[in-house]
Amino acid sequence: MEKDDSKALKPITFQGDVDFIDLDEVAQPGSIPENKDYVTPYAFGIPNELIGTPLASPHKRLFALLIDFAMIGLLTQLSDFVLAGAFAFVLIKASNQLKAKGKYGISRKIMRGIGIISALVFVIGCLKYISGDEKTNIFDFTADKRQVEQDYSVAGGLAISAMQLEAEDKAKEIETRVEEGVCVEQECWQQHLERAAINIAKLEPSIDLVELLNTTYNPHLNNISEEEFVSLVNESVKNAREQHPIIEQAVVEATDEVTRSLNALIKDLFEEFAFEFGWPLIYSSVMTGWFYGQSLGKKVVKIKVIKLNGQTPNLWEAFGRYGGYGAGLATGLMGFLQIYWDPNRQCIQDKISETLVIDLDKPKKDLLNEDADFN
């Protein structure tokens, strides 16, 4: 019986996606002796076309990872809005790919919405950069000074109400102090009026202090004439006004402190996100998913990520593989170190995503031949 050539398989070059693997021809676990230099069917079935493909050595993978870390470190130095632009590009392109496949309608719309928002942030950042305000953090949620001043105004109103309610008691207290010889009447009143004027001016700088103090205390005067009291009020308010620039500066400094604290918090959170999640996520997922399983580091050392069926991961599978790095850290790096004893040199991210890392610089070996030499 003649062999059916209609099922002939195209040789695998691993320079792009592999689309011609016959999954009916699968080598089963135990059919070939285990080794750590070539792909063998250990713990899973492997298409025969992959058997004997050289695996990337640990030192090559480490060198590629160091290059990628350096690239991510450079990316984190870019302005915040560049990260937003990268997110926008990835999300919108990914949603378009899903639309072309007619899959995940709701998820696709959510991604596209987030992508559009990120694109707007990117545009705003570009406009700020063009206008020369490139040092401005795009995520700078500056406290509204008017809101702070409004809060001061409310506090000032409460202070005025409290002063008016206590006016009678304060007048009696001053009268008692005068009778006890603690101070003379004019001196006691002036001390109190200056303190009251300063306290009110701190919270309500624009109020007419002379009229306020006169209307508040005039009904409670006993041993001092209205003329004398008006003179004391004017002098006290004058002294308070001399301190007013300092008071006003205190309000400004309080506003600035709120702004600085909020900005520092947002900046720290975003920088942590950008370094630990944002750029690493985009770099790892996009390079692996859209550049045929090769990041810049892997391209340099000539290694590549493939799935167990020989194809390269798509963006979503690359994203899942990136999540495996978190699992590796959670295991105290043991998930990464298992590359030294795993038969197919799979780290934990490879186990999770069902991928292998192969060496493109070495020739394939025919391990299906019983006489194959493993040395």
The pLDDT of residue 11 is 45
With respect to residue 63, please indicate whether it lies within any of the assigned structural domains. Answer: yes
pLDDT bucket at 264, cuts 50 / 70 / 90: low
Average pLDDT score over the chain: 75
Which of 242, 276, 293 terminates a domain? The answer is 242
Is the domain of 273 the same as that of 371? yes
Is residue 118 within 8 A of residue 85, CB to CB? The reply is: yes
* Residue showing tokens 């008016």: 164
Is the domain of 332 the same as that of 234? no
Is the domain of 271 the same as that of 370? yes
Angle at 71 (CA atoms; ends 69, 74), nearest 5 degrees = 110
Q: What is the pTM of this model?
A: 0.56
What digits encode the pLDDT tens for the residues 173-201? 888 888 888 888 788 888 888 888 777 76
Best CA proximity match to 160, nearest among 114, 112, 107, 205 = 205
Which of 209, 242, 275 terminates a domain? The answer is 242
Q: Which of 56-60, 126-130, 162-166, 206-210 has the highest mean pLDDT?
A: 56-60
Is the domain of 232 the same as that of 277? no
Residue numbers of the domain that contains 206: 145-242
With respect to residue 46, please indicate whether it lies within any of the assigned structural domains. Answer: yes
With respect to residue 249, please indicate whether it lies within any of the assigned structural domains. Answer: no
Is the domain of 280 the same as that of 359? yes
Domain count along the chain: 2
With respect to residue 291, please indicate whether it lies within any of the assigned structural domains. Answer: yes
Is residue 92 within 8 A of residue 119, CB to CB? The reply is: yes
Is the domain of 60 the same as that of 164? no
d(CA 212, CA 242): 18
Among 76-85, 152-161, 176-185, 340-349, name the one with the lowest average pLDDT: 152-161
Is the domain of 283 the same as that of 238? no
What digits encode the pLDDT tens for the residues 115-126? 888 888 888 888
